[in-house]
Structure 1
Amino acid sequence: MDFSIIRIARTVLHVTNLQASREFYVNGLGMIETESDENHVYLRGLEEHSHHSLLLKKANAAHVEVLSYKVQKEQDLDELEKLFLSQGLKTKWLPKGQQHAVGRALRVHDNSGIPLEFYAEMEIVDRMLQRYDLYKGAKIQRIDHVNCAVPDVQKAYDFYTQQLGFSCSEYTETENGDLWAAWLFRKPTVHDHAFMSGPGPKLHHFAYSLSDRLSILDCCDVLASMGYAQSIERGPGRHGLSNAFFLYLRDPDGHRIELYTGDYLTTDPDLKPKKWDLNDPLRQTFWGHEAPDRWFNEASTFIDIETGEVIEYKQPVLAQRKPEIMV
């Protein structure tokens, strides 16, 4: 293919109370506030040198505007437009200067309806990795992945692996051999984008990487002391899938964020994806405890890249053909 997607790079969320969201993400989780105005807050992790990886936008309702990927070079954007247009999918250009701190960007809908953005340029800022005096809350380091519910995981898997150049690290099959979930990556970790079967398209969660497990425990203590105990939805625990230590939280608008540490490298080209059975309880939580019902039933809605209207979701239909998982 004539383009190179590097990694998941940012999430753009609509929130109803900007100050409440700032308090949660900055003082609770320990993210760095790069800058803000009356309608926007730009946040990043301590390790990140890009201007932001999370953009909070004040709005009347809480939705997800777009999931953004960084590409290798400007020309990649033009090649990506050709691909999406050839598939009959919606595209939209945002010229340089239209978005603060971001260069020219291409917005699209993938074949599941998820709004994606691709860009090559974002303003560079100081990395705070060794500013230990600023470490607080979860001491968030960098954006790691997003996880989306889609009605047809096989369809999403085929598009991302065959058209966008993603590889698969782990996957879940039903008893009938249908693909129920897939963990796909561009950077050399377990995933940048995961898909699981469910009413969609919806964003189940976005995730940030931490340096160690203790940071997750520290975060629980800080959140509880600040009155955010009810925001702790699931964990701490360890996934069977990915092997990562995790904690799921809900922000003041209900958007779900995962704090995540301890997965593994996927650099080697001969690494084979790990298969999980849908009925294996260890895949969700290695220690065996179950997730609450709302973890399965609640997710954030996306909006259309042109109209700004909420994207209608469809009920899941499992693929009828056996997936051929390729690295």
Structure 2
Amino acid sequence: MDFNIVRIARVVMNVTDLNASRDFYVNALGFIETASSEDWLALRGLEEHCHHSLLLKKAEKPGVHKVSYKVWEDNQLNALESFFTSKNSKVIWKEPDRSVGMGRTLCVEDPSGIPVEFFTEMEGVERCIQKYDLYRGARVQRIDHINCMVPDVEAAVSFYTNELGFRVSEYTATEENRTWAAWLHRKPTVHDVAFMNGEGPRLHHVGFWLSDPMSLIHCCDVMASMGYADNIERGPGRHGLSNAFFLYVRDPDGNRIELYNGDYLTSDPDFKPIKWDINDPRRQTFWGHKAPDSWFNEAISFLDLETGKPVEPKKPTLAQRKPDFVT
């Protein structure tokens, strides 16, 4: 393999009101605002040394422009271009955009229809991990993962593991031993990306790492005191899958954010993927409480790389049922 994907690094998505988004993400959740304009807002976590991990763009409707992975060396972007061209994928080069701290990027469409970006260079900024006077809300530290609904999980997992070098940490299987959902990683934690069975492609959520479980609790208190109690969708709780503490919130436009802490190391080469039976209720929430219906039905559309229009979702290849699996 002529390229080395390091980790999930940023997500670019739409919001309809930048001021409302700033209040939610900066004042309630505790992101750092790196920079902004009339058209966008660049946010990062306290420990992040890169310009941003979440770029919010002003638009009339929600939508996700791309999910982005950092690559080890710049010349590996050319190798990725050759690889995706050989797969007849959409491939688009983007010139450096210094206004948001980005060097050149390669944008492609993966086999599930997800717009994916690869980059090496992003402007460096001050790391604020020890600026405790800036800690507020959930004290967000860094981006951790994305979760995508796709119509064919097995095909997505096969492509990312066999072609891009990802590894599976955990997965859910049906009674017929079909893969219903899977958690894949490049960095040595449970996942950089998860794929779940459903109409797609759609973005289910973006997960951000917190320094401790009490940050989830404190965030609930802050959100309630600021009038955002109804934006808390699920949790706090602990997943069976990943073992992590979680809190799911919806921003003013309905974009789902997971606040996440407490998973484990997956770097050993002999680490074996952990299988969960789809009928095991502990995989959803280790403590037993169930997710709301919105959990299974609602996600955000990806936007086509060329047209900017929502990617048309396809029906899943596995029959839909009400699952309890997502982390």
TM-score normalized by the length of structure 2: 0.96
Counterparts of 2:299 and 2:184 in 1: how far apart (Å)? 20
Q: Is the 8 A contact 2:198 2:315 kept in 1?
A: yes
Q: Is the 8 A contact 1:179 1:318 kept in 2?
A: no
Query: What's the offset of the Cα at 1:318?
Result: 2.5
Q: Superposition RMSD on alpha carbons, in Å? A: 0.9
Counterparts of 1:121 and 1:66 in 2: how far apart (Å)? 17
Give the partner amino acid of 1:42.
A
Give the partner amino acid of 1:152.
D
Structure 1 residue aligned with 2:50: 50
Counterparts of 2:217 and 2:262 in 1: how far apart (Å)? 14
Structure 2 unaligned blocks of 5 or more = 320-327
Give the partner amino acid of 1:262.
G
Counterparts of 1:100 and 1:225 in 2: how far apart (Å)? 32
Counterparts of 1:33 and 1:71 in 2: how far apart (Å)? 24
Task: Output aligned runs, 1:220-239, within 5 Å.
Answer: 220-239=220-239
Query: What's the offset of the Cα at 1:83?
Result: 1.0
Q: Is the 8 A contact 1:150 1:196 kept in 2?
A: yes
Counterparts of 2:96 and 2:18 in 1: how far apart (Å)? 25
Q: Which string of whole-angstrom CA distances, capped at 9 and with x for unpartnered residues, describes residues 118-146 of structure 1?
A: 00000000000000000000000000000
Counterparts of 2:277 and 2:246 in 1: how far apart (Å)? 21
Structure 1 range deviating more: 203-212 or 89-98: 89-98
Structure 2 residue aligned with 1:143: 143
Structure 2 residue aligned with 1:162: 162
Query: What's the offset of the Cα at 1:98?
Result: 6.8
Q: Which string of whole-angstrom CA distances, capped at 9 and with x for unpartnered residues, describes residues 51-72 of structure 1?
A: 0000010001111110000000
Query: What's the offset of the Cα at 1:188?
Result: 0.2
Counterparts of 1:266 and 1:100 in 2: how far apart (Å)? 32
Structure 1 residue aligned with 2:172: 172
Task: Output aligned runs, 1:32-47, within 5 Å.
Answer: 32-47=32-47
Counterparts of 1:74 and 1:49 in 2: how far apart (Å)? 18
Q: Is the 8 A contact 2:27 2:137 kept in 1?
A: yes
Which runs of at least 4 in structure 1 moved beyond 4 Å after TM superposition? none
Structure 1 range deviating more: 87-96 or 231-240: 87-96
Q: Is the 8 A contact 2:12 2:56 kept in 1?
A: yes
Aligned residue-pair number: 319
Counterparts of 2:98 and 2:79 in 1: how far apart (Å)? 21
Give the partner amino acid of 2:301.
T
Counterparts of 2:114 and 2:294 in 1: how far apart (Å)? 22
Counterparts of 1:99 and 1:132 in 2: how far apart (Å)? 28
User: What secondary structure is seen at the aligned counterpart in 2 of 1:133?
Assistant: helix
Structure 2 residue aligned with 1:61: 61
Query: What's the offset of the Cα at 1:99?
Result: 6.2
Structure 2 residue aligned with 1:31: 31
Q: Note if 1:259 corresponds to 2:281.
A: no
Structure 1 unaligned blocks of 5 or more = 320-327
